[in-house]
Structure 1
Amino acid sequence: MEDKRQMDKATAAGILVAFGIIFGDIGTSPLYVLKGVTGTNTPIDANVIYGALSCIIWTLTLQTTVKYVILILRADNRGEGGIFALYALVRRHARWLTVPAIIGGSALLADGIITPPISVASAVEGLRIIYPNIPTVPIVIGILTFIFLVQALGTSTVGRAFGPIMVIWFSMLGTLGLIHIFDDPSILKSVNPYYAWWLLAQHPGGFWLLGSVFLCTSGAEALYSDLGHCGRGNIRVSWVFVKTCLLLNYLGQGAWYLGIQGQTLGERIPFYELMPNWFLIIGITIATAAAIIASQALISGSFTLVSEGIRLNFWPKVRLVYPSLQKGQLYVPSVNLLLWLGCVGVVLYFQESARMEAAYGLAITLTMLMTTMLMAYYLYIKKYQAWGVVLFLLVYLGFESSFLVANLIKFTHGGYVTLLIAIAIATLMYIWLRSFQIKLRLTEYVKIDQYIQPFKELSRDISIPKYATHLVFMSNAARASEIESKIIYSIFQKRPKRADIYWFVHVDITDDPYTMEYKVNTIAPDDVYKVTFRLGFRMEQRINLYFRKVIEDLVKNKEVDITSRYESLSRQNVIGDFRFVVLEKFLSYENDLPFSERIIMDIYFYVKGFTTPEDRWFGLDSSSVKIEKVPLVIRPVENVKLKRIYS
């Protein structure tokens, strides 16, 4: 309850961070949305302007405000948001929910590769009004490089730095729009949804304009992904101001359009036409800064998504950095590098923001559709009224399917780039999940109880050199009474490992992001113990530190004696040494796997070679860790036709 109150609380500092982190993408849409709708060579028609603005107003209301800000922000997982956090809340109820989670997550990551380039390119190209021949590509790549370099500082620092700029940006949007509404107040008619219906149903080709209209809400999914960085209360309070300023600016642009009916737009940029000449340089500077900041929303959202994906077995174990003690702050170096490389590639491929706009929005509609499916299931298991759940599903599936169909015309104009990236990411997620399931299904476990006597005898067998005073094995066995047969093999057969006390440590990742719990099972007092850590999917796995805390608690409660059992050291009360053993699996040649599973496991082990080693992932001290490679024999080859020859 305390966490919920904290989430719903709005503070001045929190609102400022929200402005700086999550509203950049949706906030810079006035730069290009209406220009995309009307085109540059088609004569301006007043009814089309009314219809386009009506579509924008009701899209921002139904899609962003009602679906995301009011409804979906409720579906937080202890303060965390995003499609994977939503999946974590519902995954135990139906296995098929994995499909929308993977599709939505991969599409969102793919969108994170095109959002920064289009935002920055749109801004930098505005400088052509002053410097017509300025080369934009090197400038765009330089700015993108700077943005990705500052991510290591953490989203709190970035948000505080960018927040004031975005407040100025939105204030400018609202002011410019409000001034121009008075040029032709009849533009306010576009609030009537009739004009939206007319554009989509009666205007020739009007339906396909939805592809451009959709860009006004493309940042809504990032708004949900960044919930953990900002908090629900801060997002909701700041959205009131953001939406007001956005609508005023769109209406102001619409009023300007009504003044040029019958003409074509040509090279004019409607957004900059709202500015008086003396303000143009200032306006372009602020717009450039805001568009640069716009890339932040999906970058920080991508970090959250990947960290959640790791815990849900959708993503390889890569290094995670927590730049501050503030809850929700996160930086993923490998993802930061991949996004930077992807963004630079997009800039070099498309060159111009106009070409990026033609490709933009296709992937994110898939994410929104998948979020709708998961949210409907969440409402269902939370016992909401059945008619309400069905209404939500029908309204938003229809709404977003229309956007998806309208966006499909972008496929040949570059939309295939983001879809190909999304397919590659989804394939990696599927392989990672499938390989985890294969390993889990076929790993052999044994009861610890049946080895209690052998453990005691090995511990007291002075004919075998002592391997460690305390020998700690990392185990995947979730049940307190079991361990992997490979561990037994390592202790008794590979090279007998004599120790005074044997510890088996298992880490259980919970769907609750911030769980910090442990339990101890005493298998044999002063001989064998099993420790199970229950850690949330957003918690850093610092097992060295946590295990030391467990030992301190056990010693304080007189549940274990960790003093060295060497007589000379015992008299001095010297604490025995601790040694960790991590079993690292590799695919054995002695396997008779189906072709598809062989491919999956080969790719899994190949990619795993580039990721964080198990000991570093668990946060173990490398000086006291032994890595043992063990073959993963999934299905031994049978019926070997080998014939003996007698001489």
Structure 2
Amino acid sequence: MEHKHTDKATAAGLLVAMGIIYGDIGTSPLYVMQSIIGSAPINETTVLGGLSCIFWTLTLQTTLKYVILILRADNRGEGGIFALFALVRRHAKWLTVPAIIGGATLLADGIITPPVSVASAVEGLRMIKPDIETVPIVLAIITVLFMFQVLGTKMVGRAFGPIMLIWFSMLGFLGIVWIAKDWSILRAFSPHYAIQLLTNPYNGESGFWTLGAVFLCTTGAEALYSDLGHCGRGNIRVSWVFVKICLILQYFGQGAWLIHQNGSLLNGRKPIFELMPEWFLLWGIVIATAAAIIASQALISGSFTLVSEAIRLNFWPKVRLNYPSDQKGQLYVPSVNIFLWLGCMGVVLWFKESANMEAAYGLAITLTMLMTTALMAYYLHVKKFDMWWIVAFIVVYVSIEGSFLVANLRKFVHGGYVSLIIATAIIALMIIWYRAFIIKMRLTEYVKLVDYIEPLKDLSQDMSIPKYATHLVFMSNAARTSEIESKIIYSIFQKRPKRADIYWFVHVDTLDDPYTMEYKVDIIEPDDVIKVTFRLGFRVEQKINLYFRKVVEELVKNGEVDITSRYESLNRQNVIGDFRFVVLEKFLSYDNQLSMFESLIMKAYFFIKDFTPSEDKWFGLDTSAVKVEKVPLVIRPAENIRLKRID
């Protein structure tokens, strides 16, 4: 996806964006005002102050920061905190810290978003049947939603887009109806009322703490950025204008109704359903439930994108990725889908009521937003923006998001610990995987390939050794053309001498650019030793078997290599020689003397690796022609071994 395409908006693109992007933000009216009022009596100061806070949060946080500023930081059309990290990681190593924290907290937040949205909508049925049991309904809806992911976000977006269009139109219309009953509610556009609420006592304590509830109106902003690759910048920006207008109208309509209830208690009533005429209530609940199902989609699809990028950046185990369609940005990650589904089931069963979930919601995502601010500030520095603008950006958004974080910290004891525990576990996984990658790369031994050209040619012509394959292909980590891992040389000459006619060494270089698909061929020794380097973007599926076949076809077509079998009988018939891949899988050798930290990291790494697909499956190799060899990873050989010879 090139830059020039991301700024275009199309009718189909707007509809898909409506179905994928705005579920979380779009269903916030189900619970935000209810959460702001809480159990205290309704009063005008709280209503007007809450509305003012919502308007300015959506304006400064969602519109200005994400829709206008952050969407500029796309990596060839791809968005999300890891795409932003990929743009700046070469400039400072410490940027890995905010990237890991931000990615982990965003994934953790994806576990609580579906339950709180769906439960808030389904609980509207209690206005019709007060004693209805909502938990089984919520569990069933969430299960169906996660089953639906296998179809891909393109299919999901087409199905959900029209529903969200109806949802936002309904929000806007109902809001206008109630605003027309009390135009004075428009006073809340003034920031004066927000300042008044936040600086004065509310319900016996500082009004500042209401920011924890206000923040719920913008929780989907980070998912909006993560889903940039699914819909494009132009479609998001254009559709957001319509979405924001409808949301503001709905919030202000709820405010008009709440002021009419001045002095009374909500007692579990949801303002959004109170705006609906009685004859429309059932239809409204059905539409709200459908919209709440879609609310989950933004973070689910964003989580798939996040994990696929984390894998290429060596933050995540190499799990299986599926691409349901040929459209860029469309993918499905089975293991993450199961992980999120189990997490959502647990949240529903643990909290049961949406009010309990709201008390825990938003804490993790504030950390994500702060980490995005840190990365974006560095991105602006790399792009040589004026330092005063960068300082202003940092001061404004650290102040805003820092305030939200402090206010949300109160939620820790009310259930916020759930999302933070999950986030901590994900952070630990990412740190283990990343640190293990660094340790392995730092201590992998490389040798000069030129020193082994003659031995390879001699081995190829040694008829006393059975031929292993006509074409022997090794997957190599050596980025330099002149080098090869010593483990590969060991495998060829010592593990079991592997005689072949042509030795191929294939290296895959993962780039920060998302969709690059290039290759380079170095014919080190004609018809004997060839090295192929694939330069693939971090969003490109690893189909090395397919790509390698294409490379060989090009080489044959150009007369650069002869792949005909060198068995005399087969050569006369022009039969193509066989290709065999060798993948070296490392295991932790007992001959290691590690520090306690490195030992824990590597043991945890190999424990996790046992539950992930093997290297050959990750590279997309044909299993019938692959040999997986186990080789010991000797990180630091044990020293000072005191052995004494006796007679």
Instruction: State whether TM-score is above 0.5.
Output: yes
Please, which of 83, 89, 92 is the counterpart of residue 91 of structure 1?
A: 89
Shift of 1:352: 0.9
For 2:143 and 2:263, how far apart are their aligned partners in 1?
Answer: 43
Question: Partner of 1:162 in structure 2?
Answer: 160
Please, which of 168, 189, 200 is the counterpart of residue 191 of structure 1?
A: 189
SS at match of 1:620: coil
Question: Partner of 2:136 in structure 1?
Answer: 138
For 2:578 and 2:43, how far apart are their aligned partners in 1?
Answer: 81
Q: How many aligned residue pairs are there? A: 644
Question: Partner of 1:518 in structure 2?
Answer: 519
Shift of 1:261: 1.5
Q: What one-letter code is carried by the residue in structure 2 that aligns with 1:13?
A: A
Shift of 1:265: 2.0
SS at match of 1:113: coil
Q: What one-letter code is carried by the residue in structure 1 that aligns with 2:547?
A: Y
For 1:48 and 1:637, how far apart are their aligned partners in 2?
Answer: 68
Q: What one-letter code is carried by the residue in structure 2 that aligns with 1:8?
A: D
Shift of 1:480: 1.1
Shift of 1:528: 0.3
The answer to whether the 8 Å contact 1:19/1:159 transfers is yes
Residues 30-73 of structure 1 deviation map (CA, whole Å, 9 limit, x = unaligned): 11101111113x22221221111110000000000000000001
Question: Partner of 1:553 in structure 2?
Answer: 554
Please, which of 144, 169, 172 is the counterpart of residue 170 of structure 2?
A: 172
Question: Partner of 1:151 in structure 2?
Answer: 149
Residues 115-138 of structure 1 deviation map (CA, whole Å, 9 limit, x = unaligned): 011111111111111121111111
Q: What one-letter code is carried by the residue in structure 2 that aligns with 1:140?
A: V
For 1:268 and 1:145, how far apart are their aligned partners in 2?
Answer: 27
Query: Which stretch of structure 1 is more off in the superposition, 201-210 or 190-199?
Result: 201-210
Shift of 1:566: 1.4
Please, which of 106, 109, 120 is the counterpart of residue 107 of structure 2?
A: 109
**Match status 1:309 vs 2:310:** yes
For 1:264 and 1:464, how far apart are their aligned partners in 2?
Answer: 88
Question: Partner of 1:409 in structure 2?
Answer: 410
Question: Partner of 1:268 in structure 2?
Answer: 269
Question: Partner of 1:82 in structure 2?
Answer: 80
Shift of 1:523: 0.9
The answer to whether the 8 Å contact 1:501/1:528 transfers is yes
Q: What's the TM-score once normalised by structure 1's chain length?
A: 0.99
Question: Partner of 2:36 in structure 1?
Answer: 37
For 2:242 and 2:617, how far apart are their aligned partners in 1?
Answer: 45
Question: Partner of 1:565 in structure 2?
Answer: 566
For 1:263 and 1:238, how far apart are their aligned partners in 2?
Answer: 37
Question: Partner of 1:121 in structure 2?
Answer: 119
Question: Partner of 2:56 in structure 1?
Answer: 58
The answer to whether the 8 Å contact 1:123/1:292 transfers is no
Shift of 1:635: 0.8
Shift of 1:203: 3.7
For 1:458 and 1:16, how far apart are their aligned partners in 2?
Answer: 62
Q: What one-letter code is carried by the residue in structure 2 that aligns with 1:23?
A: Y
For 1:227 and 1:633, how far apart are their aligned partners in 2?
Answer: 42
Query: Which stretch of structure 1 is more off in the superposition, 409-418 or 552-561?
Result: 552-561
The answer to whether the 8 Å contact 1:380/1:386 transfers is yes
For 1:118 and 1:266, how far apart are their aligned partners in 2?
Answer: 18
The answer to whether the 8 Å contact 1:184/1:258 transfers is no
Shift of 1:450: 0.7
Question: Partner of 2:636 in structure 1?
Answer: 635
The answer to whether the 8 Å contact 1:467/1:498 transfers is yes
SS at match of 1:103: helix
Shift of 1:452: 0.7
For 1:382 and 1:469, how far apart are their aligned partners in 2?
Answer: 51
SS at match of 1:533: strand
Shift of 1:182: 1.3
Residues 294-346 of structure 1 deviation map (CA, whole Å, 9 limit, x = unaligned): 01110000000000000000000000000000110010000000100111011
Question: Partner of 2:543 in structure 1?
Answer: 542
Q: What one-letter code is carried by the residue in structure 1 that aligns with 2:504?
A: W
Within-5 A mapping of 1:104-503: 104-204=102-202, 205-503=206-504
Query: Which stretch of structure 1 is more off in the superposition, 46-55 or 578-587?
Result: 46-55
Shift of 1:226: 0.5
Q: What one-letter code is carried by the residue in structure 2 that aligns with 1:94?
A: A
SS at match of 2:326: coil
For 1:389 and 1:245, how far apart are their aligned partners in 2?
Answer: 32
Percent identity, please.
74
Question: Partner of 1:16 in structure 2?
Answer: 15
SS at match of 1:518: strand
Q: What one-letter code is carried by the residue in structure 1 that aligns with 2:65?
A: K
Shift of 1:385: 1.2
For 1:146 and 1:461, how far apart are their aligned partners in 2?
Answer: 61
Q: What one-letter code is carried by the residue in structure 2 that aligns with 1:157?
A: M
Query: Which stretch of structure 1 is more off in the superposition, 406-415 or 45-54?
Result: 45-54
SS at match of 2:75: coil
For 1:43 and 1:112, how far apart are their aligned partners in 2?
Answer: 32
Shift of 1:224: 0.3
Shift of 1:273: 1.0
For 1:47 and 1:189, how far apart are their aligned partners in 2?
Answer: 11
**Match status 1:616 vs 2:617:** yes
The answer to whether the 8 Å contact 1:30/1:216 transfers is yes
Instruction: Spell out structure 1 runs of 4+ moving beyond 4 A.
Output: none
Shift of 1:639: 1.2
Residues 381-436 of structure 1 deviation map (CA, whole Å, 9 limit, x = unaligned): 00111111111111001100000000000000000000000000000000000000
For 1:59 and 1:357, how far apart are their aligned partners in 2?
Answer: 18
For 2:259 and 2:187, how far apart are their aligned partners in 1?
Answer: 12
Shift of 1:269: 1.6
For 1:343 and 1:33, how far apart are their aligned partners in 2?
Answer: 20
RMSD over aligned CA atoms reads 0.8
Q: What one-letter code is carried by the residue in structure 2 that aligns with 1:405?
A: V
Shift of 1:195: 1.1
For 2:23 and 2:36, how far apart are their aligned partners in 1?
Answer: 21
Shift of 1:442: 0.5
SS at match of 1:619: coil
Shift of 1:471: 0.4
SS at match of 1:295: helix
Q: What one-letter code is carried by the residue in structure 2 that aligns with 1:132?
A: P
Shift of 1:96: 0.2
The answer to whether the 8 Å contact 1:148/1:336 transfers is yes
For 2:105 and 2:612, how far apart are their aligned partners in 1?
Answer: 22
Q: What one-letter code is carried by the residue in structure 1 that aligns with 2:634?
A: V
For 2:381 and 2:307, how far apart are their aligned partners in 1?
Answer: 27
SS at match of 2:111: helix
Question: Partner of 1:506 in structure 2?
Answer: 507
Shift of 1:570: 1.3
For 2:436 and 2:82, how far apart are their aligned partners in 1?
Answer: 19
SS at match of 1:236: helix
The answer to whether the 8 Å contact 1:376/1:393 transfers is yes
For 1:47 and 1:580, how far apart are their aligned partners in 2?
Answer: 71
For 1:368 and 1:388, how far apart are their aligned partners in 2?
Answer: 19
Shift of 1:267: 3.2
SS at match of 2:624: helix
Q: What one-letter code is carried by the residue in structure 2 that aligns with 1:66?
A: L
Shift of 1:264: 2.1
Shift of 1:266: 2.2
The answer to whether the 8 Å contact 1:162/1:293 transfers is yes
Shift of 1:201: 1.6
Shift of 1:476: 0.5
For 2:218 and 2:274, how far apart are their aligned partners in 1?
Answer: 23
Q: What one-letter code is carried by the residue in structure 2 that aligns with 1:12?
A: A
For 2:639 and 2:548, how far apart are their aligned partners in 1?
Answer: 42
For 1:631 and 1:397, how far apart are their aligned partners in 2?
Answer: 47
Question: Partner of 1:67 in structure 2?
Answer: 65
SS at match of 2:637: coil
SS at match of 2:269: coil
For 2:420 and 2:46, how far apart are their aligned partners in 1?
Answer: 30
